[in-house]
Amino acid sequence: MTYLTIDLDYWDRGENTGFFEVQENFIEEGKEFIDLIKSKFKDIYIVDYHHEILDHIHSFSNVDKIINIDFHSDIANEPLKDSDLDEGTWANFVNGREEMTFEWRMPDRQLCLIKGEGRCDSFLACARIQKDLMGYKKIYFREGIQRINFEKICGVSICKSPDWTHKTLEKYL
């Protein structure tokens, strides 16, 4: 089963991501997607910071895939200590990830992946992501929110990311 986690900074990119003004077209798309999620799932776990979802993910015994809809990858490619756990490394702390697939859904491949604006690994310009150091069975990086199989989702979380957004979409949760 798939665990779906959504970070509002996918649409509502704040000053820390280099966007000083609210991008209205992104906000409308984000509102529509939130409405879709709310119509399909009753129990949505809402947190401020992404690493706060770990206990929620671990409460499901059948997760074999995580889809992370996010401006940032939230996965690192270096050895981490417990003290390294934060909103940009949480995916490295998922129990049982050796048997899971991690899928980062980014809004803009050029900006997030190639230029590195959304990467949380030790980024070198256009460097190959060292997936073998991240601990997952498989890792995929995809642009957009299309073709998500909602029938296979067992849990959903939404992260508000107050440090990375203008907080424009929070009122729709």
Domain map of the chain by residue range?
2-172
Average the pLDDT over 158-170 and give the result.
Answer: 89
| 106 in Cβ contact with 30 (< 8 Å) | no
Distance CA 137, CA 92 (A): 12
Q: How many residues in total does the chain contain? A: 173
**pLDDT beyond 80 at 1:** yes
| 100 in Cβ contact with 131 (< 8 Å) | no
Per cent of the chain over pLDDT 90 is 53
Give the residues across from 146 on adjacent strands: none
Residue 109's nearest CA partner among 149, 142, 156 is 142
Structure confidence at residue 167 (pLDDT): 86
Residue 66's nearest CA partner among 98, 108, 88, 33 is 98
| 33 in Cβ contact with 169 (< 8 Å) | no
| 77 in Cβ contact with 133 (< 8 Å) | yes
Give the tens place of pLDDT for each residue, 95-150: 999 999 999 999 988 877 777 777 776 655 445 566 666 889 998 989 999 999 99
Per cent of the chain over pLDDT 70 is 85
Distance CA 34, CA 169 (A): 9
